[in-house]
Each structure stands twice: as C-alpha cells, then as structure tokens.
Amino acid sequence: MSPNSSTDRILIAGAGPVGMITGLALAQAGVPVTVFDTLADVPADHRASTLHPSTLAMVDRLGMTGSLIEQGLLSPIFQFRDRVAGRLVAEFDYGNLADDPTVEVPYPFALQVEQHKTILTAYGIAKDLPDFQILREHTVMEVAQDADGVTATVETADGARQEFSGRFLIGCDGGRSQVRKVLEIDFPGFTWEERFIIVSTHYDFEAADGFGYRNYLAHPERWSALIKVPGEEKEGVWRSLFPAFGDAPDEEVLTDDWIQARYRECLPYDPPYEILHRNLYMVHQRVAASFRAGRVLLAGDAAHVNNPVGGMGMNSGIHDGLNLADKLVRIWRGEAEAEVELARYDRQRRPMAEKYVQAQSIRNKELLQETDMAVRQQRLDELAATAGDPARHRAFLRNAALYTMIEEADAIE
C-alpha cells in the first residue's frame, strides 16, 4: 500500500456521471472518497444527454439541479412519429405528472444537457469538499479483498502500479468494466445486429417541422431518433441517431455521403446538412449476474448496458449510485450492517435493471423498427391511445421517468 493512501475511505473506479455523483454524495455525507479515472480530463463527447424528472429530484439534494437547469434545455414534451405515414403519432408531456397524486414531481420535465456538463457540475461541488479526492490517469487493474477491506492495484499514465486500500470499492468503470472482469462476474445478454451512429448538426428541426427536443421516428427500415442539446455556446445542436445495417465497413458509414443519405431519408428538410460530430458504436443489452462481490459493488454501465432509445442508461446508473451511497453512509455511521445493506442493494437494483431498464429500452427500439406492418400499426395505434387517455398517459410517463422503478425498488427489503 502506498504511504500516501488511507484505508479509511471508499474507492471508486471511474469518474463518469455515476462515479462522480456517487463520490459527491458520499463526500457530502462526510465519507472519505478516492475516485480513479483513466482519462486526463472529462471528454466532451456525444454520449448521454437526457436527465429525467426523477434524476433531477435526486441530484437536487446534492446541490446540482439549479446549475444543470442553467446549462440545459427544459424538455417537458417528447414525441413519437411515424415516418411511413408522415404523421405525429403521440406526444407525451411530463407536465401531466404535476397533478398526479401518486408521485411527487418537483421537476415536471426532462433536461437536455450533455453528459460532460453533468460530470463537471458534480465535480465543481465535490472538488472543494475535504473528503473528496480524484486521481486522473489512474486505472484500477486488480482488486483484492478480505473481511476488513479492499485493495485496488492502480496503473498510472507511465505504467507504474500502486496499491490503494479502502473499506469498499465501487466499480463505475463502464460497460467494459475492468472491476467486473477481475471479479469474474458474468455479463449475460446480447449485442444488437446493427451499429448505431450519432451525428450532429446546427440545423433547426424545431423550426422546420415542429419537432420537440426529444423525438423518436418509427420506420421499418430506417428508424431514427432526434434530440436537441444546448451546445457549448448554447447555440443549439441537434443530434440524430441512425442505425447502420449490413456489412458496410465503419469507414464507409462514417463518411459524409453515407450520413447525408440517412438525413435525406429520415429528415429531408434542407439538405445537405453541416455535420459537426459523428460517433459509431455497437450497442449491447446486458445485466451483470450480480451487482456485488463481497465489499466490491457495481453501478451504472459496469452493472448494466442498454440501447439509448428512451435515455435510460445514465439515469438508471445515477439511481444505482445514489441508492448505494445512501446504504454506504448508513454502514459508515454504524447505523446498519454491511452484509444486510449491500445484499439489499443487489436485490433492489439488479432486478430493476432487468425489469425496467432492459425491458423498456428494448420495447422502445422494437416499436421504432417493427417490420410487420399490421403489428406496427397496432403498436402505434396503442401508443396514440395511451397518449390520449389521461390515466394511461400519466402511467406511461411514470415508467418513462423511472418513478415506477424507484417505487418498486424501494419496496424491496
């Protein structure tokens, strides 16, 4: 163990939104935290961009929500459209939850804000706390544990290795989690056949055709999603998600010609479009066989990954981290037994990842891509009927905003 490290702390692998927010919650409660991250800085890449109403309420107690709202776009409405018929199928308004007696919704809207701004907002608060420490260009490579604590072997940028010890370790190190791998925790599930490409442009689709800030466009061959984020100068950036089917090499899918062809098919308002960014990746649906191995826990993408339709991934990951942080604080203060609380974390969060995050994100994608035209019409008609019925509209929103998942998880002892 390094002479500079202390065993009386909690270690966190990964400083993405889940690791950073979990570390902030622990440090604010007086629990010493060391966060390790492989990267030298927070990347301003095109990842998650939606914070749901339930998540905004959760991070409000950490002092984050006001700053996030200043940086983001309020998005109370999201739309489903049918590209075959060229029509708006259904529009859902989080404002309808404000009058729902079954749930308290202080923020009846989603917030569109880039992931790196969420991370930096949490870090801006955490960095001044005496119990918070972050070590960048430090990658957790190995983990050992005994009845009293854990030891993480961490590799630095120059290849040197150093040991850090603590009471517990949380793996928030992404879908390829090294922590999960060294614990030999299975990660069952599947990978979607098609690749996903996210591209962005300044073109104003709201002005072009009345799009909201979150839109899902159904089509049996070329479905897509369209989301607006603020941009670095609040200039407004529209991100489009297109599937890339077939065996075209990545290099071809990333070309201007391939991307412009998708724009012409799915959003043919004023081509060609100025392309600001592009990112191509494979998409997985997986849930770890366990969220816990002794004193080591998993949260966020290290524990579960899913397709991005519906914005479930980052939000459910933040919920993992804050659920776990509450339990670790009680353990730290001697108010609860570690074995009881950590077992409850796995019982609460892992089934919810399967029942809600996985199931709902898969349903969302299948709705958009359905090829059987009769089934497709039935599903779209059902969605329109749901949006038109006040009670069903609110129930749909409770699921979409993850409130139903939270209620069910909290009821598990």
What digits encode the pLDDT tens for the residues 220-266?
A: 989 999 999 999 999 999 999 999 988 899 999 999 999 999 999 99
Phi, psi of 73, rounded to the nearest 5 degrees: -115, 125
Q: Is residue 92 part of a domain?
A: no
pLDDT category of residue 4 using cuts at 50, 70 and 90:
very low
Q: Are residues 211 and 138 in the same domain?
A: no
Q: Tokens 């614990």, residue?
A: 183
Is residue 398 over pLDDT 70? Answer: yes
Q: Is residue 20 part of a domain?
A: yes
Sign for the pseudo-dihedral over CA of 221, 226, 231, 234: positive
State mean pLDDT over 276-298.
95
The per-residue pLDDT for 3 is: 32
Residue type, 278: R
Selection from 90, 116, 94, 114 nearest residue 105 by Cα: 94
Q: Are residues 19 and 39 in the same domain?
A: yes
Is residue 380 over pLDDT 60? Answer: yes
Q: Are residues 303 and 362 in the same domain?
A: yes
- b/e burial code for range 276-310 (CB count within 10 A of at least 16 → b): eebeeeebbbbbbeebbbbbbbbbbbbbbbbbbbb
3 state SS of 277: strand
The per-residue pLDDT for 47 is: 79
Distance of CA 315 to the CA centre of its chain: 4
State mean pLDDT over 32-38.
98
Q: Tokens 């412009």, residue?
A: 260
Return contacts of 383-392, CB within 8 angstroms, 24+ apart: 383/80, 383/89, 383/90, 384/89, 384/90, 386/90, 387/89, 387/90, 387/91, 387/92, 390/96
Residues with Cβ within 8 Å of 314's Cβ and at least 6 positions away in sequence, in order, are: 17, 18, 47, 48, 50, 51, 115, 118, 300
Q: Are residues 204 and 350 in the same domain?
A: no
Q: Are residues 37 and 56 in the same domain?
A: yes
Selection from 306, 96, 94 nearest residue 189 by Cα: 306
pLDDT category of residue 6 using cuts at 50, 70 and 90:
low
CATH code, 274 = 3.30.9.10
State mean pLDDT over 267-282.
93
Q: Which of 345, 368, 391 is the last residue of a domain?
A: 368
The per-residue pLDDT for 389 is: 96
Residue type, 111: L
Cβ(302)–Cβ(140) under 8 Å? no
The per-residue pLDDT for 145 is: 96
Q: What is the pLDDT of residues 138-195, one digit of tens each?
A: 999 999 999 999 999 999 999 999 999 999 999 999 999 999 999 999 999 999 999 9
Q: Are residues 50 and 127 in the same domain?
A: yes
3 state SS of 97: helix
Q: Tokens 């919704």, residue?
A: 105
The per-residue pLDDT for 358 is: 78
Q: Is residue 96 part of a domain?
A: no
Residue numbers of the domain that contains 271: 193-282
Q: Which of 282, 303, 319 is the last residue of a domain?
A: 282
Q: Is residue 102 part of a domain?
A: no
Q: Is residue 268 part of a domain?
A: yes
Q: What is the pLDDT of residues 47-75, one digit of tens each?
A: 789 999 999 999 999 999 999 999 999 99
Q: Is residue 91 part of a domain?
A: no
Q: Are residues 128 and 26 in the same domain?
A: yes
What percent of the chain has pLDDT above 70?
99
Q: Are residues 141 and 233 in the same domain?
A: no
Q: Are residues 63 and 204 in the same domain?
A: no
Burial class (CB in 10 A: 0-12, 13-18, 19+), 156: middle
Q: Are residues 179 and 311 in the same domain?
A: yes
The per-residue pLDDT for 308 is: 86
Is residue 2 over pLDDT 80? Answer: no
State mean pLDDT over 360-385.
93
Mean per-residue pLDDT over the chain, rounded: 94
CATH code, 300 = 3.50.50.60
Pick 140 or 405 by higher pLDDT.
Answer: 140
Q: Are residues 220 and 357 in the same domain?
A: no
Cβ(59)–Cβ(65) under 8 Å? yes
Q: Is residue 388 part of a domain?
A: no
Cβ(122)–Cβ(19) under 8 Å? no
CA atoms within 13 A on the CB side of 392: 10
3 state SS of 361: helix
Q: Is residue 94 part of a domain?
A: no
pLDDT category of residue 199 using cuts at 50, 70 and 90:
very high
Q: Are residues 334 and 361 in the same domain?
A: yes
Number of structural domains found in the chain: 2
Q: Which of 234, 263, 282 is the last residue of a domain?
A: 282
State mean pLDDT over 85-109.
92
Is residue 18 over pLDDT 80? Answer: yes
DSSP character at residue 274: P
